[in-house]
Amino acid sequence: MHEALQAAFGRLYAELHENLRSQVRGLDEPTLNWRPLPKANSVAVLVTHTVGSELEMMRSVRSVPTQRDRDSEFRAEAGAERLLEMIDAADREMGELIAAVTEADLTELRPRGDRPPRPGIEWMIANYGHAREHLAQIELTRQLYDSRT
C-alpha cells in the first residue's frame, strides 16, 4: 500500500510544482514581489514559503535532519529565475524523499519542529493541502495585480 501512496504523492507534488512554475514564468520581479495589502504576501513569498514548508515536512517524515528559517520566508524577494530554481530543486528533493518513504514513515509518529508528533501520512496530507491553499493565494494575487487600475 505504501508504494501506491508514494506514487500518488509523487505525482501530486510534481503537478503542484508545475502549477507553481506556470504562475511564476514570464513575470518580472516587481510583479512577483508585489503585495496586494501591507500585511498580505507576494507571489515570491508564497512560493518560498510553500517549498520551504514541504521540504521541512518531508524531511521530518523521513527523519532527515532539517533546518528552516520560516520567518525569513515571509520577507523573501526574488525574481522568476530564482523562484524557478527553488521550485526545480524542491521538485528533485521531494521526489527523492517521497521515493524513499517507508511504511514506518507513514504510520509512526514523527516530530516536526515544535509541533506535537503525528503519523507521517497525516503530515503529508496536511502539507499537500497547505501547499494547494498557497497555490490558490498565488493565483488570486496575480488576479489582483492584473486588475489594478
> Quick check: 106 and 120 in contact, CB under 8 A?
yes
The residues that bridge with 110 in the sheet, in sequence order, are 118
Number of domains in the chain: 1
Predicted local confidence at residue 85, as pLDDT:
98
Give the pLDDT band of residue 6 (cuts 50, 70, 90): very high
User: CATH number of the domain that 128 lies in?
Assistant: 1.20.120.450
145: CB partners within 8 A, 6+ apart: 31, 34, 36
Enter the C-alpha cell of residue 34: 508585489
Q: Which domain holds residue 102?
A: 2-146
User: What are the tens digits of pLDDT across the range 38-88?
Assistant: 999 999 999 999 999 999 999 999 999 999 999 999 999 999 999 999 999
Give the pLDDT band of residue 122 (cuts 50, 70, 90): very high
How remote is the C-alpha of 4 from its chain's centroid? Answer: 21
